[in-house]
Amino acid sequence: MEMVLLIIFVAIFTVLSWRRMNLAVGFLIMALPTYLIRFDVAGIPMTVLEVMILVVIMVFFIKRRQMFFTKKLRFIYFYKNLVEGLCFSNYKWLMLAILVVATLAVWFSPARLAALGVWKAYFVEPMLLFVVIINTIKTKEDFWQLINFWGVGAVIVSAAAIYQKITGQFIPNELWAAEETRRVTSFFGYPNAVGLYLAPVVVMFAGRLITRKAGFARMMEWTGLKSVIIDFWVIICGAAAIWFAKSEGAMVAVLVGGLILGLLIKKLRVLTLMTVAAGLLVLLLVPEIQTLVMAKATLSDFSGNIRLIIWRETIQMLGDSPIWGGGLAGFQTAIAGYHHAARVFEIYLYPHNIILNFWSELGILGVIFFSFLLIKFFYNYFKAYRENQAIYLILIAVMTTILVHGIVDVPYFKNDLSVGWWFLFALSVVLIKRKNIGDEKTAG
């Protein structure tokens, strides 16, 4: 019965992709958590999210077949159409380099079968989806429509989390489910996944809301009012879910992302600086808050101590294998000989630090190429069309949110997060290549 439903879903989604690619991609972005629905096809592990990605990629390339089947099919012409036509971004060489390094990391992995699955789901498919997205967004309506779909997905995830908070139901851990220690998980298996998913979306919609410059009368029109309601709803629901998940890394990341927005957006700069000054004053005058902040900042509490142990063990492992680290999907195997705190906690899937995550999975070259990718992402603000730079500031705040959270967690190596990462990069490409994507209702 499940397979019949899956076939029907794939058929409907394929038709939607063929007729309205923008809506199909939007639905996919909304439904990122469907990676949790897993099944096998001829012994190959798959998820519903992967199926949707493969369908839109297949339809996209079939509809672009004229780029390949042409009388002028020569190497140079093929290259021009594939690289320049399909992937018209200045990220392409770094993306290719990362893909090559990820492929090599499969070879150096002690678990090659698992590594192939990670390679497929975290690199190949999201990068191909990136190509589809940058060619699908043609207008500002397309741009904001995809972001609205992202927000709808966040509201659904948040609604499940809020329901768990109220009822205590469907939480997969007795300690988290208990009323006095309740931490929600939404559709995911652990609370921090809620923060990892929602924090970037909350900052994205906060940025859109506070950069609006439309007058009151215009915002009271249905189109403007609807958009404001969406922004508020996503922010409130997302923030509540993060709070109920007690995801401290996400809370700090959202706070930093909000501060970045306030500093980058001229009309909010003075207010932001005053808020920071007031916060510092409270920190200096209230010892209890000072003690709490210091404990979190120095990682001297229980969860902080665990991370310090993980990082120390990971650095020892990387010191013996600095070039290729543990190999793709190989961290647990590679770290086993260095893990001396087995009585305190089990071996985690990743080191819970963005630099150590990439170093362990992709080796030192992976760290280098991803660092250059991020540098280019921030630098591309200056290459975006002037009309779009206000929107690019929001993307900068969102990426900062992800990186701050990445100091203590894993903001990339998960199906939904890797797709979200490349979705953000695709949006940055559109702001560089397309004029007037930035709505006239926003301003920096």
pLDDT in tens, 70-90: 545 444 444 555 554 455 568
Average pLDDT along the chain: 87
Q: What percent of the chain has pLDDT over 90?
A: 63
Q: Which of 126-130, 158-162, 211-215, 388-392 has the lowest mean pLDDT?
A: 211-215
**pLDDT confidence of 43, banded at 50, 70, 90?**
confident
**Nearest CA among 393, 394, 389, 319 for reference residue 360:** 319
Find out whether 195 and 247 touch, Cβ atoms under 8 Å.
yes
Find out whether 34 and 187 touch, Cβ atoms under 8 Å.
no
- Give the pLDDT score at 302: 81
Count of residues for the chain?
444
Instruction: Using the structure block, give the residue that is written with the tokens 């207010």.
Output: 271
* Inter-axis angle of helices 125-136 and 21-30, nearest 10: 130
Instruction: Using the structure block, give the residue that is written with the tokens 């789901």.
Output: 121
Q: What is the pLDDT of residues 235-291, one digit of tens each?
A: 999 999 999 999 999 999 999 999 999 998 888 888 889 988 998 888 888 888 888
Instruction: Using the structure block, give the residue that is written with the tokens 């150096």.
Output: 108
User: In this predicted model, which residue has the larger pLDDT, 301 or 34?
Assistant: 34
**Nearest CA among 92, 35, 24 for reference residue 58:** 24
**pLDDT confidence of 444, banded at 50, 70, 90?**
very low
**pLDDT confidence of 387, banded at 50, 70, 90?**
confident
- Give the pLDDT score at 92: 87
- Give the pLDDT score at 438: 58
- Give the pLDDT score at 47: 93
User: What average pLDDT does range 25-52 have in this prediction?
Assistant: 92
Residue 61, pLDDT > 90, answer no
User: What average pLDDT does range 88-113 have in this prediction?
Assistant: 89
**pLDDT confidence of 230, banded at 50, 70, 90?**
confident
Q: What is the pLDDT of residues 115-146, one digit of tens each?
A: 999 999 999 999 999 999 998 998 888 999 99
User: What average pLDDT does range 1-24 have in this prediction?
Assistant: 91
Find out whether 38 and 45 touch, Cβ atoms under 8 Å.
yes
Two structure tokens written together for 289: 């808050």
3-class DSSP string for the chain:
CHHHHHHHHHHHHHHHHHHCHHHHHHHHHHCHHHHHCEEEECCEEEEHHHHHHHHHHHHHHHHCHHHCCCCCCCHHHHHHHHHHHHCCCCCHHHHHHHHHHHHHHHHCCCCHHHHHHHHHHHHHHHHHHHHHHHHHCCCHHHHHHHHHHHHHHHHHHHHHHHHHHHHCCCCCCHHHHCHHHCCCCCCCCCHHHHHHHHHHHHHHHHHHHHCECCCHHHHCCHHHHHHHHHHHHHHHHHHHHHHHHCCHHHHHHHHHHHHHHHHHCHHHHHHHHHHHHHHHHHHHHCHHHHHHHHHHHCCCCHHHHHHHHHHHHHHHHHHHCCCCCCCCCCHHHHHHHHCCCCCCCCCCCCCCCHHHHHHHHHHHHHHHHHHHHHHHHHHHHHHCCHHHHHHHHHHHHHHHHHHHHHCCCCCCCCHHHHHHHHHHHHHHHHHHHCCCCCCCCECC
- Give the pLDDT score at 342: 59
- Give the pLDDT score at 287: 83
Two structure tokens written together for 68: 């390949």
Strand partners, 45: 40
181 alpha-carbon distance from chain centroid? 28
Q: Which residues contact 409 (CB under 8 A, 6 or more apart)?
A: 192, 195, 196, 249, 352
Find out whether 155 and 234 touch, Cβ atoms under 8 Å.
yes
Residue 398, pLDDT > 50, answer yes
- Verdict on whether the full-model pTM lies above 0.85: yes
How far apart, in whole angstroms, are the C-alpha atoms of residue 392 and residue 442?
Answer: 11
Q: What is the pLDDT of residues 331-384, one digit of tens each?
A: 999 998 888 765 667 788 899 999 999 999 999 999 999 999 999 999 999 988
User: What average pLDDT does range 318-339 have in this prediction?
Assistant: 91
- Give the pLDDT score at 177: 93
User: What average pLDDT does range 168-176 have in this prediction?
Assistant: 92
How far apart, in whole angstroms, are the C-alpha atoms of residue 163 and residue 154?
Answer: 14
